[in-house]
Amino acid sequence: AVDRTEEIQTARLGLPVVGEEQKIMEAIHNNSVVVIWGATGSGKTTQLPQFLFESGFGSPGSPNPGLIGVTQPRRVAAVSMANRVSQELGQHAEKVSYQIRFESTASKKTAIKFMTDGILLREIADDFALRKYSIILIDEAHERSVNTDILIGMVSRIVGLRKSLSKEDPSVKPLKVVIMSATLRISDFTENPSLFRDGAPPLVQAEGRQYPVAVHFSRRTQRDYVEDAFRKVSRGHRKLPAGGMLVFLTGQNEIRQLSKRLKQAFKPTQREDTTQAKVQLSANEAPLEAEDLELGGTEMDNAGHDDYDSDMEITGLDDAEEDEGFELAEGEEAMDSSTRVHVLPLYSQLPTKEQMKVFEPPPENSRVIILATNVAETSLTIPGIKYVFDCGRAKEKQFDLFTGVQSFQVGWISKASANQRAGRAGRTGPGHCYRMYSSAVYESEFAEYTDPEILRTPIEGVVLQMKSMGLHNVINFPFPTPPSRQGLAKAEKLLKNLGALTADGQVTPIGRRLSTYPLSPVAALAVGDLFVPENQLDPNNPLPTTSKKQVDDDSDSDSDSNKRKVYTNADRLADDEREQRTKAYARAQRLFSKHDDTSDALKSLSAICAYGYASDGDAFSEKMFLRAKAFKEATQLRRQLTDIVRSNNPGLVPAYEARLPEPSQKQIKALKQIVTAGFIDNVAIRADLAPVPPENPRAPRRAIDVPYLTLFRSRDGKGQDLQERAVYVHPSSLLAKLTPKEMPQYITYSHLQQSSASLVSDQVPKIRM
Ligand code: ADP
Ligand code: MG
């Protein structure tokens, strides 16, 4: 039996999952696989492991002596849930442990082990039958992360394996599996005949009990949602009664920015650091976890999102509208105006110890304001949250099947996510959710659910990961949502070309190394546009540092001068300025290409290295026509990758150093070879120099009109027509400056892209490298 404190007893009794204990345990007893659905906060993660523990799972000598394993997509959830369950288990506290990358509290006493899904995948690679475990709980299955999906496919097979093993050897017990989800989007698991061969697993529902949450849509959707969040949170803090605030943003830069502004605008609290000792694991035991990199833009991807423009507004709102939703109900009182703000960031890249601070009670006379990414959407139940501010966006992995470019982009979340976020306000009492978008945007732009990550990710990384787990027949793997067979076959071929797999599909030492990096094997140059393109130098177009105000003024004067059509002094000045800028631009480009005037990859490298020397990155970016934001991200990525390389090769790699010496001729040559080897599938040959040149080609006048043919047919042009098969150099490439004659026989490119629709309507848009 478990002696629980009275406080914990009472808290447990209020949880819907506890009310369903008998039903849940019966289902687990009678089936090898069970799916449990319950709203966030209903008690799935904290209570199920305890039910199992109390019924003997994980206890030596019982019919189910193996560990209770609980997987989480996020490190902070694994750690915090282990802590909470340990607390609830009274005298059995030390039977709960966790393991995350580089850190483990597991011991001989462990009965319940929380871990990231990456850890369990690594353990499957070591023992495919997972003999250590008697039951695996796969949590947050609705998030559909790649790791979770692979894990579900894996355990569906392991259940069968353990059944047959136990028939041969009675000391081996069958394995049980529980899949837990916060939304009802589980048909991919329950109705997938290739997944669970014994028929659909039963679904047990834990009645979600929520306090009402009043949802307030904005009348308009602001483009600058960080600014909008600052305004709304500030107003909320001044006007609303006591209660914690949870603000959903998309990434750590935004969170830092808002945190700084809130701390400047209000009196912040101060807190001491608390540290706990942990067992440190060595790097090669540490598996890949999905959170290891955070990169990508904060700007909305403009393509396809223009429809909500009518709803967008740049200027501020009038006071009357801003007050909507902040009115006090009867008997409510705003907090004292001197109340301090206890601002806490919460995002995956933050050290776990820092993330855990959201669970500590805030200092007295303060309001906790948590600034979070979607970490806080379903995995964590943060106590005391009464107000949610939802920006409606999230940074998500995107993958363009056509160009092969992977990126992290800010996009609208799904309706399901928006509802999860709102629900965070109704755990402890009635709450409010302030949506920083209009109901029109919600209706027209938000999908019902987000696509599973596996459909948004370069499949090479997934294939490599599975191969390095010893899984050879990837094409027949029971994915909950299978990627296309063609895509899988193509990925295998690419991995062979890269030398990551042998001809018969075994992982090579290089492949093993590649699989320890949280990037697709060919993603190295996918940070996004680093340079301001030449056609955006026109002062009438927005320049990288020009404020919105100036843009508006400029465009006004522009339309005036168009009407007059007289060449004025102002026009002359504008022309001079344009000429100066064009010259300065050319100088900057020359400087970055001084090592090699035909390699765009080396040009990027020079620019990133030069940026590393700048004392003021923003000023340098402006002067040298660089996209400041892209360079901040590239630098962040450089730092993160250095850390990963260092932890994978202890003692071999020096610490991150912003300033690198100039590369030698030999290094430049090696770098070019590395880039070529990495993009081995992305090689194009000049069409007229191809083994079978096209007939009667027209002589191109510019470098960007010289047709090339891709060697590996990334472009699936069907006809024989050169127009349909050819690709061309992008005007922003250094190669575009050559004469057609000088164009090289072979080009290695990072990706293809379809140029935007041509001004001449009957011209087919060209595919460019
Ligand atoms: P679910 O997994 O269904 O989303 P949880 O088991 O995580 O639900 O949480 C159940 C309840 O346990 C929450 O509503 C919350 O009240 C409580 N709880 C969870 N973690 C903590 C914690 N660290 N501190 C205090 N209460 C917690
Ligand atoms: Mg949970």
pLDDT digits (tens, 9 = 90+) for 217-234: 999 898 899 999 999 999
Q: How confident is the model at residue 719 (pLDDT cuts 50, 70, 90)?
A: low
- For residue 192 and ligand 1, the question of a CB distance below 6 A is answered with no
- pLDDT beyond 50 at 349: yes
Alpha carbons 15 and 8: distance in angstroms, whole number? 11
Provide the pLDDT confidence category of residue 18 given band limits of 50, 70 and 90: very high
Q: Where are the alpha helices (DSSP H) in 358-484?
A: 375-378, 415-423, 439-445, 459-468
* Least confident residue range of 100-104, 438-442, 562-566, 603-607: 562-566
Task: Evaluate if residue 553 carries a pLDDT over 80.
Answer: no
Q: Please state, in angstroms and rounded to a whole number, the distance separating the CA atoms of residues 185 and 193.
A: 17
pLDDT higher than 70, residue 294: no
Residue nearest to atom 18 of ligand 1 (CA): 381
Question: Is 15 touching ligand 1 by the criterion CB < 6 Å?
Answer: yes
Residue 554 predicted with pLDDT over 50: no
Helix (H, G, I), strand (E, B) or coil at 235: helix
163: pLDDT confidence band, cut at 50, 70 and 90? very high
Determine the pLDDT at residue 197.
78
Query: What is the full DSSP assignment across 705-736?
Result: G--EEETT-SS---SS-HHHH-BB--TTSGGG
611 has pLDDT over 90: yes
Query: Left (φ > 0), alpha (ψ -120 to 50) or beta: where does 271 sit?
Result: beta
Range scoring the smallest mean pLDDT among 20-24, 88-92, 412-416, 730-734? 730-734
Residues 716 and 752: their CA atoms lie apart, in Å, by 12
Q: Ligand 1, residue 11: give the atom nearest the CA.
A: 16
- Quick check: 406 pLDDT over 70? no
| Model pLDDT, residue 559 | 43
Report which of residues 116 and 543 the model is more confident about. 116
- Cα–chain center distance at 315: 30
Distance CA 626, CA 531 (A): 5
Average pLDDT over residues 146-152: 92
In this prediction, residue 653 has a pLDDT band, given cuts at 50, 70 and 90, of confident
Quick one: pLDDT band at residue 630, thresholds 50, 70, 90?
Answer: confident
Reduced to 3 states (helix: H, G, I; strand: E, B; else coil), residue 329 is coil
Average pLDDT over residues 728-746: 92
pLDDT over 60 at 194, yes or no: yes
Local structure of 739: helix, strand or coil? coil
Tell me how far the alpha carbon of residue 12 lies from the centroid of ligand 1, in angstroms.
Answer: 9
The DSSP H or E segment spanning 190 is helix 187-190
* Residue 133, strand partner residues: 67
Lowest mean pLDDT among 18-27, 118-127, 270-279, 390-399: 270-279
Mean local confidence (pLDDT), 383-404: 82
Is 421 near ligand 1, meaning CB less than 6 Å away?
A: no
Provide mean pLDDT across the span 344-365: 86
pLDDT average, residue stretch 719-729: 76
Nearest of 136, 148, 212, 133 to residue 182 by alpha carbon: 148
Give the SS3 label for residue 179.
strand
CB 4 within 8 A of CB 84: no
574-604 pLDDT, tens digit per residue, is 888 888 888 999 999 999 998 888 999 899 8
Cβ 726 vs Cβ 709: under 8 Å: yes
**β-strand partners of 35:** 179, 203
Neighbours of 41 (CB within 10 A): 24
Distance CA 140, CA 128 (A): 23
Return the ligand 1 atom nearest residue 427 CA.
14
CA dist 683 and 675 (Å) reads: 11
CA 566 centroid distance within chain: 52
Taking the centre of ligand 1 as the mean of its atom positions, its distance from the CA of residue 349, in whole angstroms, is 22
> Would you say the CB of residue 86 lies under 6 angstroms from ligand 1?
no
Q: Phi first, then psi: give them for residue 248, nearest 5 degrees.
A: -95, 120
| Residues written for the chain | 769
Q: What are phi and psi of 631, to 5 degrees?
A: -70, -35
CA distance 131 to 391: 44
Task: State the average pLDDT over residues 126-142.
Answer: 95
Upper half-sphere CA count for residue 8 (Cβ side, 13 Å):
14
Query: Do the Cβ atoms of 471 and 477 come closer than 8 Å?
Result: yes
DSSP state of 281: P
The residues facing 590 across adjacent strands are none
The rounded distance, in Å, linking the Cα atoms of 632 and 637 is 9
Q: Mean pLDDT over residues 52-77, rounded?
A: 94
CA-CA distance, 483 to 471, in Å (whole number)?
16
Instruction: Indicate the residue type of 618.
Output: D
* pLDDT score recorded for residue 248: 97
- The pLDDT score that the predictor gives to residue 421 is 94
Q: Which amino acid is at 450?
A: T
CA of 40 to the centre of ligand 2 (A): 6
Among all bound ligands, the one having the nearest atom to the CA of 46 is: 1
Indicate whether residue 80 lines ligand 1 (CB < 6 A). Answer: yes
pLDDT band at 542 (very low <50, low <70, confident <90, very high): very low
Beta carbons within 8 Å of 374's beta carbon, 6+ residues apart: 248, 394, 413, 417, 421
CA atoms within 13 A on the CB side of 354: 12
Token pair of 397, please? 């992995």
Sign of CA dihedral 239, 242, 243, 245: positive
Asked whether the beta carbons of 178 and 510 are under 8 A apart, the reply is no
List Cα–Cα distances, 52 to 80, 137, 182, in angstroms.
19, 10, 20
Ligand 1 mean position, distance from CA 75 (Å): 16
Establish whether residue 606 lines the binding site of ligand 1, counting it when its CB lies within 6 angstroms of any ligand atom.
no
> Mean per-residue pLDDT for 36-49?
92
pLDDT at 333 over 90: no
DSSP state of 317: P
Task: Return the pLDDT at 196.
Answer: 83
Q: pLDDT (tens digit, 9 = 90+) per residue, 241-280?
A: 999 999 999 988 899 999 999 999 999 987 544 434 455 5
Nearest C-alpha neighbor of 728 from the set 713, 743, 707, 714: 707
| C-beta separation of 636 from 608 below 8 A | no
Lowest mean pLDDT among 103-112, 282-291, 655-664: 282-291
In the structure, what pLDDT confidence band is assigned to residue 299 with cuts at 50, 70 and 90? very low
Poorest-pLDDT segment among 167-176, 342-351, 437-446, 612-621: 342-351
Average pLDDT over all residues of the chain: 83
Choose which residue among 381, 386, 424, 428 to substitute to test ligand 1 binding: the one with the highest number of ligand atoms within 8 A of its C-beta: 381
The percentage of residues in the chain with a pLDDT greater than 90, rounded to a whole number, is 44
pLDDT for residue 99 is more than 50: yes
What is the predicted pLDDT for the residue at 402?
59
CA of 503 to the centre of ligand 2 (A): 43
* Contact by Cβ (8 Å): 69, 136: yes
Say whether pLDDT at 694 is over 90.
no
The pLDDT of residue 526 is: 58
Residue 299: strand, helix, or coil: coil
Which residue, by CA, sits nearest to atom 12 of ligand 1?
Answer: 43
Higher-confidence residue: 548 or 394? 394
Residue 558 has pLDDT above 80, yes or no: no
**Cα(489)–Cα(507) distance, integer angstroms:** 15
What band does 637 get if pLDDT is binned at 50, 70 and 90?
confident
Q: At what angle are helices 75-88 and 6-13 packed, to 10 degrees?
A: 120
The Cα-based distances of 541 to 223, 305, 564, 576, 577 in angstroms read 19, 21, 20, 16, 13
Strand arrangement of the beta sheet that strand 279-280 belongs to: 203-206, 33-38, 176-181, 133-138, 67-72, 112-116, 96-100, 103-104, 279-280
- DSSP for 564-600 reads H----HHHHHHHHHHHHHHHHHHHHHHHHTSS-TT-H
Q: Which atom of ligand 1 is nearest to the CA of 84?
A: 23
What pLDDT is attached to residue 623? 92
Distance between Cα 716 and ligand 1 center (Å): 51
Six token digits for residue 484: 């296309």
From CA 490, how far away is CA 478, in angstroms rounded?
Answer: 18
**pLDDT tens per residue across span 442-483:** 999 999 988 898 888 878 888 998 888 888 889 889 999 999
